[in-house]
Amino acid sequence: MPTDFNQLKLIKDLGRKEIFLSIARVAQSTKVYAGASDGRVYFTDVMAEKPEFQSWEGHTSYVTGLAIVGDQLVSGSYDGHLIWRNLADGQIVRNVEAHSRWIRRIAASQDGKHVVSIADDMACRIWNAQTGQLVHELRGHEPRTPHHFPSMLYACGFSADGAFLATADRVGRVIVWDVASGKLAGSVEAKEMYTWDPKQRIHSIGGPRSVAFSLDGNLLAVGGMGQVGNIDHLEGKTRVEVFDWRKATRTNEFVGDGFKGLVERLVFHPQGEWLLAAGGDNSGHLQFLELAESKVLKQEKAPTHLHDLVLDETGETLFAAAHGKLLVWSLKPAS
């Protein structure tokens, strides 16, 4: 039955001193792993009566990406390393020096075959998720912006079938790669998500921070922030653009109504009923978007900036990594 957004309720608010930047959830459970600003990975059952946190060390800087592949957890960090651990005991299986600069995001294909990492060295690397061997190094984004500043790769994500991978850079170029061959399959431009200030700061801000393929792989959603007046603040309106990436045409455009800041995470409902955009500025936001009629179904303020988010198998429970918090919302009908 269609989602009843009147049921949306924040059911767990776990305050912590850490900034949680990434999250991964154990299937069919309320147990999550969260990557933090102190370089640790935390593990807890968020719905326990009194959640207890275990922590694992290994990284020396922010843990910006997590992915569960089989019985292992892969983490990526600003220290440039990817670490594989056993889920059972947290023991490190391998530690790979994957990039020469900050890793911004990692993702795993749904079939568990591949893990992708992107970093400020402008390299996208696809890894064998089981062996840690490098499969492809993909370079197609310009290393510098049109104004001669270093660019960054901010977002990446696989299609549901694992056949395609999208990567997005600071100036709004999004490339779709064929995973099997490592060749470019298409590209789109989300240039409104990049702001250049030629007068006061002589600097730039923005760039897409999230990408997500529709369930059939035909559409690609890109999330970020619109144009900014003062680039020292996340004052631009939230922005989501959806593309038919094979035709390089935009099918939808959602500009934040009442919400500012970055769209850090895009997630499609498990049956494709809606697209969820999450992120924030000083506070946070959730926006549920419907593509067929290009309308906002529901938008909700969050207690703080949301950095990452995952859904359960039904799309009725939302788990978020946030600034100083782990948060859980429910969309389940009242019993």
Flag whether 122 is in a domain. yes
Flag whether 9 is in a domain. yes
Q: What is the CATH number for 256?
A: 2.130.10.10
Taking a C-beta distance cutoff of 8 angstroms, is the pair 85, 42 a contact? no
Q: pLDDT band for 197, please (50, 70, 90 cuts).
A: low
Of the chain, the end-to-end C-alpha distance in Å amounts to 15
Q: pLDDT band for 202, please (50, 70, 90 cuts).
A: very low
- What distance in Å separates the CA atoms of residue 187 and residue 245, rounded to the nearest whole number? 7
- What distance in Å separates the CA atoms of residue 137 and residue 312, rounded to the nearest whole number? 32
- What distance in Å separates the CA atoms of residue 191 and residue 289, rounded to the nearest whole number? 21
pLDDT in tens, 205-246: 678 999 999 999 999 999 999 887 665 566 789 999 999 999
Report the domain count for the chain. 1
Flag whether 258 is in a domain. yes
Tokens of 106: 């990692």
- What distance in Å separates the CA atoms of residue 329 and residue 316, rounded to the nearest whole number? 8
| pTM for this model (two decimals) | 0.95
% of the chain residues with pLDDT over 90: 86
pLDDT of 195 strictly over 70? yes
* Residue that wins the pLDDT comparison between 261 and 18: 18
Q: Is 100 exposed, middle or buried (0-12, 13-18, 19+ CB in 10 A)?
A: exposed
Flag whether 120 is in a domain. yes
Flag whether 47 is in a domain. no
Flag whether 112 is in a domain. yes
Of the spans 70-84, 189-203, 222-236, which averages the highest pLDDT? Answer: 70-84
Flag whether 186 is in a domain. yes
Supply φ then ψ for residue 193, to 5 degrees: -90, 5
- What distance in Å separates the CA atoms of residue 129 and residue 108, rounded to the nearest whole number? 8
pLDDT in tens, 99-130: 999 999 999 999 999 999 999 999 999 999 99
Flag whether 134 is in a domain. yes
Taking a C-beta distance cutoff of 8 angstroms, is the pair 325, 16 a contact? yes
- What distance in Å separates the CA atoms of residue 28 and residue 205, rounded to the nearest whole number? 38
Supply φ then ψ for residue 243, to 5 degrees: -125, 145
Range of the domain at 217: 5-14+100-330
